[in-house]
Amino acid sequence: MNFSKIKIITGFLVLSSLLSSCGFKKSRDDQKLIIFHAGSLSVPVKEVIDAFNKENPEISVLIEAAGSRDCARKITDLNKECDVMASADYTVIDELLIPEFADWNIRFASNEMVIVYTENSHYADQIDSTNWCEILLKEDVTYGRSDPNSDPCGYRTVLVSKLAELHYQIPGFSESILAKNQNYIRPKETDLLALLEINTLDYVFIYRSVAVQHNLKYILLPSQINLENPGYADFYKLATVKINGKRLGETITKVGEPMIYGLTVPKNAPHKENALKFVDYLLSTKGMAIMEKNGQPSIVPFFTDSFKGIPESLKKYALEKQ
Q: Tell me, rounded to whole angstroms, the distance of Cα 11 from its chain centroid.
A: 52
* pLDDT for res 229: 94
For residue 84, pLDDT beyond 60: yes
Q: Tell me, yes or no, whether 42 and 157 share the same domain.
A: no
Instruction: Tell me the pLDDT tens digit for each residue of 136-194.
Output: 999 999 999 999 999 999 999 999 999 999 999 999 999 999 999 999 999 988 899 99
pLDDT average, residue stretch 17-41: 70
Q: Tell me, yes or no, whether 163 and 294 share the same domain.
A: no
* pLDDT for res 321: 84
For residue 3, pLDDT beyond 60: no
Q: Is residue 11 part of a domain?
A: no
- Residue where a domain terminates, one of 209, 233, 255: 255
Q: Tell me, yes or no, whether 156 and 289 share the same domain.
A: no
- Residue where a domain terminates, one of 209, 237, 255: 255
Q: Is residue 22 part of a domain?
A: no
Cβ atoms of residues 190 and 173 within 8 Å: no
Q: Tell me, yes or no, whether 270 and 311 share the same domain.
A: yes
Q: Who wins on pLDDT, 8 or 167?
A: 167
* pLDDT for res 136: 98
Q: Tell me, yes or no, whether 107 and 129 share the same domain.
A: no
Mean pLDDT across the chain: 91
For residue 7, pLDDT beyond 70: no
Closest to 107 (Cα-Cα) out of 273, 237, 288: 288
Q: Band of the pLDDT at 29, cuts 50, 70, 90?
A: low
For residue 28, pLDDT beyond 60: no
Q: Tell me, yes or no, whether 93 and 171 share the same domain.
A: no
Say which CATH number the domain at 56 has. Answer: 3.40.190.10
pLDDT average, residue stretch 246-270: 93
* pLDDT for res 2: 53
Q: Tell me, yes or no, whether 42 and 65 share the same domain.
A: yes
Q: Is residue 24 part of a domain?
A: no
Q: Is residue 40 part of a domain?
A: yes
Q: Band of the pLDDT at 304, cuts 50, 70, 90?
A: very high
Q: Which amino acid is at 163?
A: L
Q: Tell me, yes or no, whether 295 and 306 share the same domain.
A: yes
* pLDDT for res 137: 98
Q: At what angle do helices 285-293 and 272-283 cross, to 10 degrees?
A: 60
For the sheet with 260-264, list strands across it: 60-66, 32-38, 84-87, 260-264, 106-110
Q: Tell me, yes or no, whether 121 and 191 share the same domain.
A: yes
Q: Is residue 17 part of a domain?
A: no
For residue 215, pLDDT beyond 60: yes
Q: Is residue 179 part of a domain?
A: yes
- Residue where a domain terminates, one of 200, 221, 255: 255
- Distance between CA atoms of 142 and 285, rounded to whole angstroms? 41
* pLDDT for res 245: 84
Tell me whether the omega of the peptide bond preceding residue 57 falls within 30 degrees of 0, making it cis. Answer: no
Q: Tell me, rounded to whole angstroms, the distance of Cα 34 from its chain centroid.
A: 15
Q: Band of the pLDDT at 69, cuts 50, 70, 90?
A: very high
pLDDT average, residue stretch 36-41: 95
Q: Is residue 60 part of a domain?
A: yes
For residue 45, pLDDT beyond 70: yes
Q: Tell me, yes or no, whether 63 and 101 share the same domain.
A: yes
Q: Is residue 158 part of a domain?
A: yes
* pLDDT for res 260: 96
For residue 252, pLDDT beyond 60: yes
> How many structural domains comprise the chain?
2
Which residue range is the domain that position 160 belongs to?
A: 113-255
Of the candidate ranges 3-7, 143-147, 249-253, the one whose mean pLDDT is the lowest = 3-7
Cβ atoms of residues 177 and 261 within 8 Å: no
Q: Tell me, yes or no, whether 122 and 77 share the same domain.
A: no
* pLDDT for res 15: 45
pLDDT average, residue stretch 285-291: 97
Instruction: Tell me the pLDDT tens digit for each residue of 104-116.
Output: 999 999 999 999 9
Q: Tell me, yes or no, whether 156 and 188 share the same domain.
A: yes
